Amino acid sequence: MTSTVPLAGGGAMPLLGFGTWKTTGEECYRAVREALDVGYRHIDTATMYRNEDQVGRAVRDSGVPREDIFVTTKLLPEEADRPRPAIDASLAALGFDHVDLWLIHWPPADGASPSTWREFLAVREQGLARAVGVSNYDVAQLDELVEATGVAPAVNQVRWSPSLYDPEVLAAHRERGVVLEGYSPFRSTDLGDPELVRIAEAHGVSPAQVVLRWHLEHGIVVIPKSVTPERIRSNFDVSGFRLDDDETRRIDALAR
């Protein structure tokens, strides 16, 4: 069982999740089944990914109780003016009566869109999403939603990695009670960086595992993706070592 982070309004979210971006059809189904077999209990999808049906089928076929799996999906920006039909369509594709987290995938064309956020809060109250949040929002846009409604998003999913580390952004989220979730942890990371390699060798693990462990040490949710069984297992196998404070600081410094 992976560690979790509490969400504002109740519930908890596993810190280590499994991403499904650019994975569709039977390849997606097999990858999600493998992830659940390995032990992941947090699966991230989106309407934009066109794989909600395969994710839902994999969850149902896994044998893992639905209540033990944290599932996230996301609203297309172009559907910002019709969120209720959009969540109904996502739930139908997934085959669920609720998701654990529903996110506004990108800020709509008119900005933070408090009107859409109000609809998200209504969907949460109706029990169709246990928690609601946003993705790719900046701190000013988070504040705009709070000023308009008095309610902060439970989560903001943004691109994050050692090279993008910004302690001020992380602190700003925590001050507002918003969980920071990082996607694409490897796309902006040089896994051959000598610092990462040295730390990985010291622990007998891979640089990719070090990057994931670094997220967890900071309490940042991270959702690596892969369709390769060996890599799916390796990405999950990050609980057997810890980074000390000096190692964490050395990785933080890669952003400078």
Strands (E), 93-178: 99-104, 129-135, 155-159
Non-local (6+) Cβ contacts of 98 within 8 A are: 91, 127, 128, 129, 130
Non-local (6+) Cβ contacts of 69 within 8 A are: 36, 41, 42, 43, 59, 62, 100
Report which of 166, 183, 73 is spatially closest to residue 128, judged by C-alpha positions: 73
Report which of 74, 67, 77, 78 is spatially closest to residue 89, judged by C-alpha positions: 74
40 is catalytic: no
Alpha carbons 130 and 125: distance in angstroms, whole number: 8
Residue among 29, 40, 49, 137 flagged as catalytic: 49
Nearest 5°: the CA angle 161, 208, 165 is 15
Distance (Å) of CA 105 to CA 90, 152, 163: 13, 16, 23
Residues taking part in catalysis? 49
